[in-house]
Structure 1
Amino acid sequence: MLAMIFAHDRNYLIGKDNWMPWSIPNDLAYFKEITSGKTIIMGRKTFESFGKPLPNRHHLILTRNQNYQAEGCEIFHEMQSLLDYIDQRSDEEIIVVGGADIYQLFLPYADHLYITYIDEEFEGDTYLPKIDLTNWNLISKKKGIKNDQNPYDYYFLQYNRK
Protein backbone atom coordinates (compact mmCIF):
# COMPACT_ATOMS: atom_id res chain seq x y z
CA MET A 1 0.00 0.00 0.00
CA LEU A 2 1.26 3.45 -0.88
CA ALA A 3 0.56 6.32 1.50
CA MET A 4 1.55 9.97 1.57
CA ILE A 5 2.24 12.16 4.59
CA PHE A 6 2.44 15.95 4.56
CA ALA A 7 1.48 19.10 6.42
CA HIS A 8 0.04 22.14 4.67
CA ASP A 9 -1.47 25.50 5.48
CA ARG A 10 -4.74 26.98 4.19
CA ASN A 11 -3.14 27.67 0.80
CA TYR A 12 -1.55 24.22 0.37
CA LEU A 13 1.87 25.65 1.24
CA ILE A 14 4.26 22.91 2.37
CA GLY A 15 7.69 24.53 2.39
CA LYS A 16 10.02 27.47 2.53
CA ASP A 17 13.71 27.28 1.65
CA ASN A 18 13.57 23.46 1.63
CA TRP A 19 12.04 23.22 5.11
CA MET A 20 8.70 23.85 6.80
CA PRO A 21 7.64 27.47 7.37
CA TRP A 22 6.19 26.64 10.80
CA SER A 23 7.28 24.94 13.98
CA ILE A 24 4.84 22.37 15.36
CA PRO A 25 6.71 19.77 17.42
CA ASN A 26 3.54 17.67 17.77
CA ASP A 27 3.41 17.35 13.98
CA LEU A 28 7.03 16.18 13.88
CA ALA A 29 6.16 13.60 16.57
CA TYR A 30 3.17 12.49 14.45
CA PHE A 31 5.45 12.13 11.40
CA LYS A 32 7.85 10.02 13.45
CA GLU A 33 5.02 7.84 14.81
CA ILE A 34 3.53 7.20 11.36
CA THR A 35 6.79 6.59 9.48
CA SER A 36 8.90 4.78 12.09
CA GLY A 37 9.75 1.22 11.03
CA LYS A 38 8.53 1.82 7.48
CA THR A 39 9.94 2.49 4.04
CA ILE A 40 9.78 6.13 3.00
CA ILE A 41 10.10 7.68 -0.47
CA MET A 42 11.46 11.14 -1.10
CA GLY A 43 13.26 13.30 -3.60
CA ARG A 44 16.90 14.23 -3.25
CA LYS A 45 16.24 17.74 -1.91
CA THR A 46 13.92 16.41 0.79
CA PHE A 47 16.53 13.86 1.82
CA GLU A 48 19.22 16.54 1.94
CA SER A 49 16.97 18.72 4.12
CA PHE A 50 17.05 15.90 6.71
CA GLY A 51 20.85 15.90 6.64
CA LYS A 52 21.08 12.13 7.13
CA PRO A 53 18.84 9.06 7.06
CA LEU A 54 16.09 9.18 9.67
CA PRO A 55 16.41 6.46 12.30
CA ASN A 56 14.40 3.25 11.97
CA ARG A 57 13.25 3.89 8.40
CA HIS A 58 14.25 2.46 5.01
CA HIS A 59 14.94 5.38 2.64
CA LEU A 60 14.19 5.34 -1.09
CA ILE A 61 15.32 8.42 -3.01
CA LEU A 62 14.10 9.30 -6.49
CA THR A 63 16.51 11.60 -8.33
CA ARG A 64 17.45 12.44 -11.91
CA ASN A 65 21.10 12.78 -10.83
CA GLN A 66 22.68 9.54 -12.10
CA ASN A 67 25.73 10.00 -9.86
CA TYR A 68 23.84 10.68 -6.64
CA GLN A 69 24.69 8.48 -3.68
CA ALA A 70 23.51 8.58 -0.08
CA GLU A 71 24.78 6.18 2.53
CA GLY A 72 22.04 3.99 3.98
CA CYS A 73 19.59 4.76 1.15
CA GLU A 74 18.42 3.09 -2.05
CA ILE A 75 18.59 5.38 -5.06
CA PHE A 76 16.15 5.23 -7.99
CA HIS A 77 16.45 7.23 -11.21
CA GLU A 78 13.21 6.16 -12.88
CA MET A 79 9.67 6.35 -11.60
CA GLN A 80 8.75 2.96 -13.10
CA SER A 81 11.50 1.10 -11.27
CA LEU A 82 10.27 2.61 -8.01
CA LEU A 83 6.67 1.68 -8.81
CA ASP A 84 7.84 -1.89 -9.51
CA TYR A 85 9.58 -1.91 -6.12
CA ILE A 86 6.33 -0.80 -4.44
CA ASP A 87 4.28 -3.42 -6.32
CA GLN A 88 6.56 -6.17 -5.06
CA ARG A 89 5.81 -5.07 -1.49
CA SER A 90 2.03 -4.62 -1.70
CA ASP A 91 1.54 -6.02 1.82
CA GLU A 92 3.74 -3.27 3.29
CA GLU A 93 2.82 0.39 3.84
CA ILE A 94 5.32 2.57 1.98
CA ILE A 95 5.04 6.30 2.65
CA VAL A 96 5.88 9.23 0.36
CA VAL A 97 7.34 12.08 2.44
CA GLY A 98 8.07 14.75 -0.19
CA GLY A 99 8.79 17.10 -1.79
CA ALA A 100 6.20 18.70 -4.01
CA ASP A 101 7.35 17.10 -7.28
CA ILE A 102 7.42 13.66 -5.65
CA TYR A 103 3.92 14.16 -4.24
CA GLN A 104 2.72 15.13 -7.72
CA LEU A 105 4.26 12.00 -9.26
CA PHE A 106 2.92 9.55 -6.69
CA LEU A 107 -0.52 11.03 -5.94
CA PRO A 108 -2.27 8.94 -8.65
CA TYR A 109 -0.90 5.77 -7.00
CA ALA A 110 -1.59 6.65 -3.36
CA ASP A 111 -4.11 4.63 -1.35
CA HIS A 112 -3.93 6.57 1.92
CA LEU A 113 -3.21 10.16 2.99
CA TYR A 114 -1.89 11.35 6.35
CA ILE A 115 -2.46 15.10 6.38
CA THR A 116 -1.70 17.71 8.98
CA TYR A 117 -3.90 20.68 8.09
CA ILE A 118 -2.65 23.90 9.68
CA ASP A 119 -5.43 26.49 9.88
CA GLU A 120 -3.09 29.40 9.24
CA GLU A 121 -1.40 31.17 6.31
CA PHE A 122 2.39 31.25 6.00
CA GLU A 123 4.96 32.63 3.56
CA GLY A 124 6.85 30.09 1.51
CA ASP A 125 7.89 28.84 -1.89
CA THR A 126 6.67 25.25 -2.21
CA TYR A 127 3.07 24.18 -2.62
CA LEU A 128 1.33 20.84 -2.59
CA PRO A 129 -0.41 19.85 -5.81
CA LYS A 130 -4.18 20.28 -5.49
CA ILE A 131 -5.88 17.12 -4.28
CA ASP A 132 -9.50 16.48 -5.19
CA LEU A 133 -10.75 15.14 -1.86
CA THR A 134 -14.04 14.02 -3.44
CA ASN A 135 -12.03 10.95 -4.50
CA TRP A 136 -11.17 10.19 -0.88
CA ASN A 137 -13.03 9.09 2.26
CA LEU A 138 -12.17 10.88 5.49
CA ILE A 139 -11.56 8.11 8.02
CA SER A 140 -10.05 10.08 10.91
CA LYS A 141 -9.92 13.68 12.12
CA LYS A 142 -8.24 14.76 15.34
CA LYS A 143 -7.54 18.30 16.52
CA GLY A 144 -3.94 18.81 17.58
CA ILE A 145 -3.05 20.26 20.95
CA LYS A 146 -2.44 24.02 20.81
CA ASN A 147 0.03 25.38 23.37
CA ASP A 148 3.18 27.52 23.61
CA GLN A 149 5.25 25.00 21.64
CA ASN A 150 2.48 24.27 19.10
CA PRO A 151 0.97 27.75 18.62
CA TYR A 152 -1.44 27.09 15.72
CA ASP A 153 -4.77 25.38 15.21
CA TYR A 154 -4.04 22.17 13.32
CA TYR A 155 -5.74 18.86 12.57
CA PHE A 156 -4.51 15.36 11.84
CA LEU A 157 -6.61 13.96 8.98
CA GLN A 158 -6.50 10.53 7.39
CA TYR A 159 -8.11 9.62 4.08
CA ASN A 160 -8.50 6.39 2.11
CA ARG A 161 -8.99 6.47 -1.63
CA LYS A 162 -12.57 5.66 -2.65
Structure 2
Amino acid sequence: MLTCIVAIGDNFAIGKNNDLLWHFSKDLKRFKQITTGNTIIMGRKTFESLPGILPGRHHVVITQNKNFKVNDERVTVINSKEALFAYLDDGKEYFVIGGGEIYKLLLPYCNKIHLTQVHKEYDAEVFFPTLDYSKWNIKEEETGFIDEAETTAFSFLTLKRTTVLK
Protein backbone atom coordinates (compact mmCIF):
# COMPACT_ATOMS: atom_id res chain seq x y z
CA MET A 1 0.00 0.00 0.00
CA LEU A 2 1.24 3.45 -0.90
CA THR A 3 0.86 6.27 1.62
CA CYS A 4 1.84 9.89 1.01
CA ILE A 5 3.45 11.87 3.78
CA VAL A 6 3.70 15.58 3.04
CA ALA A 7 3.72 19.05 4.58
CA ILE A 8 1.96 21.75 2.55
CA GLY A 9 1.07 25.39 2.82
CA ASP A 10 -2.52 26.51 2.27
CA ASN A 11 -1.65 27.00 -1.41
CA PHE A 12 -0.28 23.39 -1.63
CA ALA A 13 3.30 24.74 -1.61
CA ILE A 14 5.92 22.18 -0.59
CA GLY A 15 9.33 23.45 -1.62
CA LYS A 16 11.67 26.04 -3.03
CA ASN A 17 15.34 25.85 -4.06
CA ASN A 18 15.27 22.06 -3.50
CA ASP A 19 14.46 22.55 0.19
CA LEU A 20 11.51 22.51 2.55
CA LEU A 21 9.72 25.81 3.13
CA TRP A 22 9.98 25.52 6.92
CA HIS A 23 11.70 23.37 9.54
CA PHE A 24 8.98 22.72 12.07
CA SER A 25 10.35 20.35 14.74
CA LYS A 26 7.01 18.77 15.67
CA ASP A 27 6.41 17.94 11.98
CA LEU A 28 9.94 16.52 11.56
CA LYS A 29 9.42 14.34 14.68
CA ARG A 30 6.08 13.13 13.28
CA PHE A 31 7.74 12.29 9.94
CA LYS A 32 10.46 10.32 11.72
CA GLN A 33 7.97 8.47 13.95
CA ILE A 34 5.74 7.48 11.02
CA THR A 35 8.48 6.47 8.56
CA THR A 36 11.11 4.81 10.77
CA GLY A 37 11.23 1.07 10.15
CA ASN A 38 9.60 1.46 6.75
CA THR A 39 10.52 2.08 3.12
CA ILE A 40 10.37 5.65 1.84
CA ILE A 41 9.95 6.47 -1.86
CA MET A 42 11.27 9.68 -3.37
CA GLY A 43 12.61 11.32 -6.47
CA ARG A 44 16.31 11.88 -7.10
CA LYS A 45 16.21 15.59 -6.20
CA THR A 46 14.52 14.85 -2.87
CA PHE A 47 17.11 12.16 -2.16
CA GLU A 48 19.94 14.56 -2.97
CA SER A 49 18.41 17.22 -0.68
CA LEU A 50 18.50 14.91 2.36
CA PRO A 51 21.31 15.39 4.89
CA GLY A 52 22.23 11.74 4.25
CA ILE A 53 20.55 8.37 4.27
CA LEU A 54 17.85 8.59 6.93
CA PRO A 55 18.46 6.03 9.68
CA GLY A 56 16.08 3.11 10.07
CA ARG A 57 14.47 3.47 6.66
CA HIS A 58 15.08 1.86 3.30
CA HIS A 59 15.17 4.47 0.51
CA VAL A 60 13.72 3.92 -2.95
CA VAL A 61 14.80 6.60 -5.40
CA ILE A 62 12.85 6.98 -8.63
CA THR A 63 14.76 8.63 -11.45
CA GLN A 64 14.74 8.53 -15.23
CA ASN A 65 18.52 8.94 -15.12
CA LYS A 66 19.74 5.41 -15.79
CA ASN A 67 23.28 6.44 -14.81
CA PHE A 68 22.25 7.48 -11.29
CA LYS A 69 23.65 4.98 -8.79
CA VAL A 70 23.93 4.86 -5.01
CA ASN A 71 26.45 2.41 -3.61
CA ASP A 72 24.58 1.61 -0.39
CA GLU A 73 22.41 -1.41 0.44
CA ARG A 74 19.89 0.91 2.16
CA VAL A 75 19.05 2.53 -1.20
CA THR A 76 17.30 1.04 -4.24
CA VAL A 77 17.29 3.04 -7.47
CA ILE A 78 14.33 2.47 -9.81
CA ASN A 79 13.89 4.00 -13.26
CA SER A 80 10.13 3.79 -13.92
CA LYS A 81 6.70 3.60 -12.32
CA GLU A 82 6.29 0.09 -13.75
CA ALA A 83 9.56 -1.05 -12.16
CA LEU A 84 8.45 0.49 -8.86
CA PHE A 85 5.16 -1.43 -8.87
CA ALA A 86 7.03 -4.65 -9.71
CA TYR A 87 9.32 -3.97 -6.71
CA LEU A 88 6.52 -3.34 -4.18
CA ASP A 89 5.24 -6.11 -1.89
CA ASP A 90 1.43 -6.05 -1.62
CA GLY A 91 1.49 -6.72 2.12
CA LYS A 92 3.65 -3.74 3.08
CA GLU A 93 3.07 -0.02 3.49
CA TYR A 94 5.41 2.32 1.62
CA PHE A 95 5.72 6.06 2.24
CA VAL A 96 5.93 8.49 -0.67
CA ILE A 97 7.92 11.51 0.58
CA GLY A 98 8.29 13.67 -2.55
CA GLY A 99 9.07 15.70 -4.44
CA GLY A 100 6.40 17.30 -6.53
CA GLU A 101 6.76 15.09 -9.62
CA ILE A 102 6.76 11.91 -7.53
CA TYR A 103 3.63 13.02 -5.67
CA LYS A 104 1.94 13.72 -9.03
CA LEU A 105 3.00 10.31 -10.31
CA LEU A 106 2.00 8.28 -7.25
CA LEU A 107 -0.86 10.14 -5.49
CA PRO A 108 -3.45 8.40 -7.72
CA TYR A 109 -2.25 5.08 -6.24
CA CYS A 110 -2.19 6.16 -2.57
CA ASN A 111 -4.91 5.11 -0.14
CA LYS A 112 -3.71 7.24 2.76
CA ILE A 113 -2.07 10.63 3.31
CA HIS A 114 -0.31 11.85 6.44
CA LEU A 115 -0.76 15.56 5.83
CA THR A 116 0.72 18.49 7.69
CA GLN A 117 -1.06 21.64 6.62
CA VAL A 118 0.65 24.87 7.60
CA HIS A 119 -2.07 27.51 7.51
CA LYS A 120 -0.20 30.11 5.51
CA GLU A 121 0.48 30.61 1.81
CA TYR A 122 4.10 30.33 0.72
CA ASP A 123 6.16 31.49 -2.23
CA ALA A 124 7.29 28.20 -3.74
CA GLU A 125 8.49 26.43 -6.87
CA VAL A 126 7.13 22.99 -6.04
CA PHE A 127 3.53 22.15 -5.17
CA PHE A 128 1.61 19.11 -4.02
CA PRO A 129 -1.22 18.15 -6.41
CA THR A 130 -4.49 19.84 -5.49
CA LEU A 131 -6.57 17.45 -3.39
CA ASP A 132 -10.22 16.79 -3.99
CA TYR A 133 -11.14 16.48 -0.31
CA SER A 134 -14.47 14.85 -1.23
CA LYS A 135 -12.46 11.72 -2.11
CA TRP A 136 -10.80 11.57 1.31
CA ASN A 137 -12.04 11.02 4.88
CA ILE A 138 -10.27 12.57 7.85
CA LYS A 139 -9.36 9.74 10.23
CA GLU A 140 -7.18 11.74 12.65
CA GLU A 141 -6.71 15.46 13.24
CA GLU A 142 -4.53 17.53 15.55
CA THR A 143 -4.15 21.30 15.45
CA GLY A 144 -1.77 23.78 17.03
CA PHE A 145 0.82 26.44 16.28
CA ILE A 146 4.22 25.87 14.71
CA ASP A 147 5.88 28.56 16.80
CA GLU A 148 5.74 29.75 20.39
CA ALA A 149 4.49 33.17 19.25
CA GLU A 150 1.38 31.35 17.97
CA THR A 151 1.52 33.21 14.67
CA THR A 152 1.21 30.27 12.28
CA ALA A 153 -1.31 27.49 12.83
CA PHE A 154 -0.97 23.93 11.57
CA SER A 155 -3.08 20.81 11.27
CA PHE A 156 -1.84 17.23 11.29
CA LEU A 157 -4.34 15.15 9.34
CA THR A 158 -4.50 11.49 8.44
CA LEU A 159 -6.67 11.11 5.36
CA LYS A 160 -7.97 7.84 3.94
CA ARG A 161 -9.32 7.52 0.42
CA THR A 162 -13.10 7.03 0.36
CA THR A 163 -12.77 4.26 -2.24
CA VAL A 164 -9.80 2.00 -1.54
CA LEU A 165 -7.55 1.32 -4.52
CA LYS A 166 -6.15 -2.11 -5.29
TM-score (norm 2): 0.91
In 2, Cα distance between the equivalents of 1:39 and 1:54? 11
The number of residues matched between the two structures is: 160
Task: Check the 8 A contact 1:25/1:150 in 2, yes or no.
Answer: no
Q: One-letter code of the match for 1:95?
A: F
Q: Would the alpha carbon gap of residues 17 and 91 (structure 1) be closer, same or farther in structure 2, given more than 3 Å must change?
A: same
Task: Check the 8 A contact 1:9/1:120 in 2, yes or no.
Answer: yes
- Could you tell me which residue of structure 2 aligns to residue 125 of structure 1? 125
In 1, Cα distance between the equivalents of 2:150 and 2:68? 36
In 2, Cα distance between the equivalents of 1:153 and 1:35? 24
The structure richer in strand per residue is 2
- Could you tell me which residue of structure 2 aligns to residue 17 of structure 1? 17
Q: Tell me, yes or no, if structure 1 residue 75 matches structure 2 residue 56.
A: no
Task: Check the 8 A contact 1:138/1:160 in 2, yes or no.
Answer: yes
- Could you tell me which residue of structure 1 aligns to residue 87 of structure 2? 85
SS at match of 1:47: helix
State the identity %: 36
Task: Check the 8 A contact 2:24/2:146 in 1, yes or no.
Answer: no
Residue 144 of structure 1: CA displacement?
A: 3.5
> CA RMSD, aligned part only?
1.5
Q: How far does the alpha carbon of each residue in 1:30-74 deviate from its partner, in whole angstroms, 9 at most, with x for none? A: 110110000000000000000321000000000011110123310
SS at match of 1:117: strand
In 2, Cα distance between the equivalents of 1:8 and 1:128? 7
Q: Would the alpha carbon gap of residues 32 and 81 (structure 1) be closer, same or farther in structure 2, given more than 3 Å must change?
A: same
Q: One-letter code of the match for 2:43?
A: G
In 1, Cα distance between the equivalents of 2:136 and 2:59? 27
In 1, Cα distance between the equivalents of 2:124 and 2:33? 26
TM-score (norm 1): 0.93
